[in-house]
Structure 1
Amino acid sequence: MKPTPRTFSHIGLSVPDLDKAVEFYRDVLGFYVIMEPTEIIEDDSDIGQMCTDVFGKGWSRIRIAHLATADRIGFELFEFEGNETPNDNLNFKQNGMFHFAIQDPNLEGLLAKIVAAGGKQRMPVREYFPDEKPYRMVYVEDPFGIVFELYSHSYELTYSNGAYS
């Protein structure tokens, strides 16, 4: 029996300043804050034990906040002690995640807000089907160097008609 597609629950991002990251994702991208920044320490509590299971011993303390998109996808933001900025924030040849995508029909308006808030535009806005359909995309960075993509239309609409053919 073929498995059915699963739903996407959330993504976790490591940021150097949790308060500024919550402000950016709330005020610029419009995400809902569902749990304000909270400190968790390495101890014998249930959450402390769970973090030790994930991070190993010696993680000491973290700050965490939970946000959500309009379509109920969670954004879990972590501020770890000793957080390190990578030398290459788009190491696309390394296994693992290298970007996520946000959809907004006013892609250029959101792009301007991201840049005004200290983010970066990584490329020109591209059209997938110039003169046929208004599908646009652009890669950006948040103010902390996390790379993500903006789409003007849904993933299914953008790719269902052979965007690469």
Structure 2
Amino acid sequence: MTELSAHHFGVTVTDLDRAVEFYRDVLGLDVLNRFSVSGEAFSTGVDVEGAIGNFAHLDAGSARVELVEYDPAGENRDTERVNQPGAKHLGIAVDDLDGFYEKLPSDVETLSEPQTTASGTRILFLRDPEGNLVEVLEA
């Protein structure tokens, strides 16, 4: 059987430059590369007629965060809540959650201050500029 391993976690955004700035400057991920993909095979593969994808790959340790801005863009959606079926979030580990929280820019929306769960894990949920949930946990 083929062995599976994580390669990337994809996040669709409407403003790639703004998203890259957030994931690079706020979360501290290094940009590995930026590129665009188009053509019939891509459009067929993503099931979006005439699709063009503008991508940025960022280094998240053992996997990449893939930010992608599509043309044509999809329709807006309501902000997801973590308990909705189909909800998704990106998990990022840090050494010092309180230090990370204290250095967040004031315009970054968090769901709460850092919390210690019953399992002993310290967590903080925030939203990227697109409203996507990001869980930052202390590892």
> Under a length normalisation based on structure 2, what TM-score does the superposition of the two structures give?
0.81
Higher relative strand content? 2
Query: CA 1:117 to 1:66, structure 2 compared with 1: closer, same or farther past 3 Å?
Result: farther
Equivalent residue, structure 2, for 1:126: 115
Higher relative contact order (CA 8 A, sep 6+): 2
Query: CA 1:62 to 1:20, structure 2 compared with 1: closer, same or farther past 3 Å?
Result: same
The one-letter code matched in structure 2 to 1:149 is E
Q: Which runs of 5+ in 2 are unaligned?
A: none
- Larger Cα Rg: Structure 1 or Structure 2? 1
Q: Is the 8 A contact 2:79 2:131 kept in 1?
A: no
The one-letter code matched in structure 1 to 2:62 is R
- CA-based RMSD of the aligned residues comes to 2.7
Equivalent residue, structure 2, for 1:103: 93
Equivalent residue, structure 2, for 1:11: 9
How far 1:91 moved relative to its partner? 5.9
Aligned length: 138
The one-letter code matched in structure 2 to 1:22 is V
Equivalent residue, structure 1, for 2:30: 32
Q: Is the 8 A contact 2:92 2:137 kept in 1?
A: yes
Query: CA 1:60 to 1:7, structure 2 compared with 1: closer, same or farther past 3 Å?
Result: closer
Deviates more, 1:77-86 or 1:13-22: 77-86
Q: Is the 8 A contact 1:141 1:147 kept in 2?
A: yes
> Under a length normalisation based on structure 1, what TM-score does the superposition of the two structures give?
0.70
In 2, Cα distance between the equivalents of 1:91 and 1:28? 21
Q: Which runs of 5+ in 1 are unaligned?
A: 154-165
Query: CA 1:139 to 1:68, structure 2 compared with 1: closer, same or farther past 3 Å?
Result: same
Q: Is the 8 A contact 1:35 1:66 kept in 2?
A: yes
Query: Which of 58, 81, 87 lines up with 1:90 in the alignment?
Result: 81
Equivalent residue, structure 1, for 2:20: 22
1:38-94 deviations in Å (ceiling 9; x for gaps) = 2333x25xxxx1x2232225143221111111x231111100122443213226332
